[in-house]
Amino acid sequence: MKNKIRTFLTSQGMISFIASVASIAIGLIFGYILLVCFNSGQAFNGLGKILFAGASSAEKFSKVLYQAAPLMLTGLSVGFAFRTGLFNIGASGQYTMGTFFALYAGLVLKCPWWAALLAAMLGGAIWGAVPGFCKALFNVNEVITSIMFNWIGMFLVNLLMANIPAMLAPNADRTANLAAANKSGIIPKWGLDTLFGSDYINISIFITILVALIIYLILNKTTFGYELKACGFNRNASIYAGINAKRNIVLSMVIAGALSGLGGGIYYLSGTAQYTIVKSLLAMGFNGIPVALLATSNPIGIIFSSIFVSYIQVGGEAMQPEFAKEIIDIIISVIIYLSAFALLLKGVIRKILSMRKAKQGEGVSQ
Footprint on this chain of another protein (rule: CB under 8 A): 34, 38, 87, 89, 134, 138-141, 143-145, 147-149, 151-152, 155-156, 158-159, 162-163, 280-281, 286, 289-290, 293, 321, 323-324, 326-330, 332-334, 336-337, 339-344
Q: Given the complex with another protein, which of 205 and 319 has the nearer CB atom?
A: 319
Q: Given the complex with another protein, which of 47 and 269 has the nearer CB atom?
A: 47
Count CB-CB contacts under 10 A for residue 273.
Answer: 18
Q: Given the complex with another protein, which of 175 and 339 has the nearer CB atom?
A: 339
CB 93 within 8 A of CB 151: yes
Q: Given the complex with another protein, which of 93 and 264 has the nearer CB atom?
A: 93
Minimal distance, residue 7 CB to another protein, in Å: 27
CB 67 within 8 A of CB 310: yes
Minimal distance, residue 134 CB to another protein, in Å: 6
Minimal distance, residue 113 CB to another protein, in Å: 28
Q: Given the complex with another protein, which of 219 and 291 has the nearer CB atom?
A: 291
Q: Given the complex with another protein, which of 16 and 270 has the nearer CB atom?
A: 16
Minimal distance, residue 328 CB to another protein, in Å: 8
Q: Which amino acid does the sequence have at 28?
A: L
Minimal distance, residue 62 CB to another protein, in Å: 26
| DSSP string covering 253-300 | HHHHHHHHHHHHHHHHTSSS---B--SS--HHHHHHHHHHHHTTT-HH
Minimal distance, residue 111 CB to another protein, in Å: 25
The closest alpha carbon to 188, from 269, 297, 268, 245, belongs to 269
Q: Given the complex with another protein, which of 32 and 323 has the nearer CB atom?
A: 323
CB 72 within 8 A of CB 208: yes
When computed from its CA atoms, the radius of gyration of the chain, rounded to whole angstroms, is 22
- Tell me how far apart the alpha carbons of residues 364 and 339 are, in angstroms, rounded to a whole number: 37
CB 185 within 8 A of CB 110: yes
- Tell me how far apart the alpha carbons of residues 339 and 328 are, in angstroms, rounded to a whole number: 17
Minimal distance, residue 76 CB to another protein, in Å: 16
